[in-house]
Amino acid sequence: MAADQPAWWTRAVVYQVYPRSFMDSDGDGIGDLGGVLLHLDHLSDLGVDVLWLSPVYPSPQADNGYDISDYQDIDPLFGSLQQLDELITALHARGMKLVMDLVVNHTSDQHPWFLESRSSTDSPKRDWYWWRPPREGMAPGDPGAEPTNWQSFFSGPTWELDEASGEYYLHLFDRRQPDLNWENPEVRQAVHEMMRWWLDRGVDGFRMDVINMISKDVGPDGHLHDGPPLPGAALGDGSASYLCGPRIHEFLQEMHREVFAGRSDALLTVGEMPGVTVEQARLFTDPSRGEVDMVFQFEHVGLDHGTSKWDIHPLRLRDLKASFGRWQAGLADVGWNSLYWDNHDQPRAVSRFGDDSPGFRRDSATCLATLLHLHRGTPYVYQGEELGMANYPFRGLEEFADVESLNHHVHAVSAGHDPAEVLDALRYMSRDNARTPVQWDASPHAGFTTGTPWLAVNPDHVEWNAAAQRDDENSVFAHHRRLIALRHTDDVVALGDFTMLLPDHDEVYAFTRSLGGVELLVVCNLSRTPYRLAELLPEAPAAELVLGNLPDDDPAELRPWEARVLRLP
Ligand code: NOJ
């Protein structure tokens, strides 16, 4: 590829498979690689370019595979290395690529590296993880003796006491996910070697889990700093010590040199980066710096959070515009955006940002998709999003499985919060909403398994399923197919400049994309209120319809949840 040619992924759309919930081929109730292989037609019919596979490595499954105990094998729960090879071959034969999940901020506490590290303070791998004595003047296990006051992402302190040595180890996530010490060059080399092994096997890149957390702000004497106290909590916010830490660019540049340099341009790297700012993202994705191709930023999925994700506030559309607009502008000349509503960590977008009541579900799902796919950046479709899958109607706590949700419930209730309110927040925001099995058809368990699904299937699958949508031109699936095709065929969609319109409008989201004399006007009504199009955007009525999400029968009115892509004369 010539240096002045836009990278291939500027025109690409990625589809995320969360294998546990995608398709079960062996009747154990848990999705697997055999299941992914069975449904590749679904992906090629949709037209996506890349499959990002959430972790399938051996794992005790404390965090559904984001706790890896062997980086170079496949968990028998999901299949075998041979099936992974088959998947690579099958995807490549269809012109698609495979991106693996790379979870190297932490391992499982069952990874041989950690078992060795934990075995003795003299272990040669002791320094592969973050071991620290109790706070000065305190004994191991004393309340508040943890080396720092940081609160874990999954509730409680980020430190777990190892009784045998009297030292604590760091875990930013669950206690079964100890953080690797990237300060140690042996750790970095081991990770690079493992990554090269996967690329040599034929995988086409990595989605890098919380990769902006690998560099911690550690003093020359090994000291880690307390963070400011969190409102209403005994613990503090340590994020300044581990989000985009002092050596993060150095580590990513080294990884790029050691793993990717000299390989094909056809690879893809995307760094998941909670808390990343536009300015930082510009550095991470500036191709001349050799770090990553794009990042997942979290600003837009935090707009409905208060003091935490469980403190839910309705989204204000003008905040979303300000945020997306800033990202579009900030990465316009240098760097690249990735675009997403949904993934395995977010509740379903149609229930969160759309309107999943029966009369508006299809229209709001297609409206949200249009809005997202017409931005500049690489869109990511999360399994089931292309079908308009919605949040699950959880009855009680016993229906949740996610470690983050369950830990939060324990901590919040023991801190005195009303259990009914805690449960309500889980119903709306829990990651389990995204993790219910994909709805393939109207049969029992939605065609996902012949056994008992590990997480309940949404009862709405009798109506909302792939079989019902595949041949229906009016379906959410068909609309996604058209959006994906548009990015492939229209340069302006892939590469055009972005200009936000109507920044203060509370219900209508509008923008233009322009490239080489071609100008698209995109207008999306994110409400049940009908609008006269000419009053909103006088130039709109004269424009030609490129793609819309509702039947094309009243050009003058922008109906509830209607989205139109128009070509300006
Ligand atoms: C981000 C992943 O997307 C999430 O599912 C996981 O729990 C954490 N990182 C920890 O690996």
Q: Ligand 1 within 6 A of 66 CB? A: yes
Q: Ligand 1 within 6 A of 63 CB? A: yes
pLDDT, one tens digit per residue, over 114-139 is 999 999 999 999 999 999 999 999 99
* Nearest atom in ligand 1 to 344's CA: 5
% residues pLDDT > 70 (the chain)? 99
Give the pLDDT mean for 369-384: 98
pLDDT value for 3:
47
Q: Ligand 1 within 6 A of 434 CB? A: no
212, pLDDT greater than 50: yes
% residues pLDDT > 90 (the chain)? 97
* Nearest atom in ligand 1 to 105's CA: 11
Q: Beta partners for 557? A: 532
Strands 268-272 and 563-567: unpaired
Element (H, E) at 546: strand 544-548
- Does the pTM of the predicted model rise above 0.75? yes
DSSP strands (E only) in 447-537: 497-501, 508-515, 518-525, 531-532
Q: Are 99 and 204 in contact (CB under 8 A)?
A: yes
pLDDT value for 137:
96
pLDDT value for 233:
83
Q: What's the token pair of residue 82?
A: 């041979």
Q: How far is the CA of 346 from the centre of ligand 1 (A)?
A: 11
Q: Which long-range CB contacts under 8 A does 123-127 form with residues at least 24 apart?
A: 127/181, 127/184
pLDDT value for 436:
98
From the candidates 167, 254, 272, 356, which is the catalytic residue? 272
From the candidates 179, 204, 209, 404, which is the catalytic residue? 209
Report the C-alpha gap between 493 and 345 in whole angstroms.
Answer: 27
Name the one residue in this structure whose structure tokens are 């000419």.
Answer: 534
Q: Whose CA is nearest to atom 6 of ligand 1?
A: 66
pLDDT, one tens digit per residue, over 420-444 is 999 999 999 999 999 999 999 999 9
Report the C-alpha gap between 327 and 511 in whole angstroms.
Answer: 14
Q: Ligand 1 within 6 A of 209 CB? A: yes
DSSP state of 437: P
Query: Torsion angle, CA of 433/434/438/441, rounded to 10 degrees?
Result: 40
pLDDT value for 553:
79
> Phi, psi (5° rounding) for residue 539?
-75, -15
2, pLDDT greater than 60: no
% helix / strand / coil in the chain, to the nearest 5? 35, 15, 50
Give the pLDDT mean for 315-322: 98
* Nearest atom in ligand 1 to 343's CA: 3
275, pLDDT greater than 70: yes
Element (H, E) at 132: strand 131-132
Residue 471: active-site member: no
Confidence band for 466, pLDDT divided at 50, 70 and 90: very high
Q: Ligand 1 within 6 A of 242 CB? A: no
Report the C-alpha gap between 205 and 268 in whole angstroms.
Answer: 5
pLDDT, one tens digit per residue, over 228-239 is 999 888 899 999
Confidence band for 398, pLDDT divided at 50, 70 and 90: very high
Report the C-alpha gap between 372 and 349 in whole angstroms.
Answer: 11
pLDDT value for 554:
86
1, pLDDT greater than 50: no
Q: Are 537 and 521 in contact (CB under 8 A)?
A: yes
Q: What's the token pair of residue 361?
A: 């579900």
Q: What is the mean pLDDT of the chain?
A: 97
Residue in 63, 272, 404 to alter for ligand 1 test, most ligand atoms within 8 A of Cβ: 63
Give the pLDDT mean for 5-25: 97
pLDDT value for 552:
82
pLDDT value for 231:
86
Q: Are 290 and 256 in contact (CB under 8 A)?
A: yes
Residue 75: active-site member: no
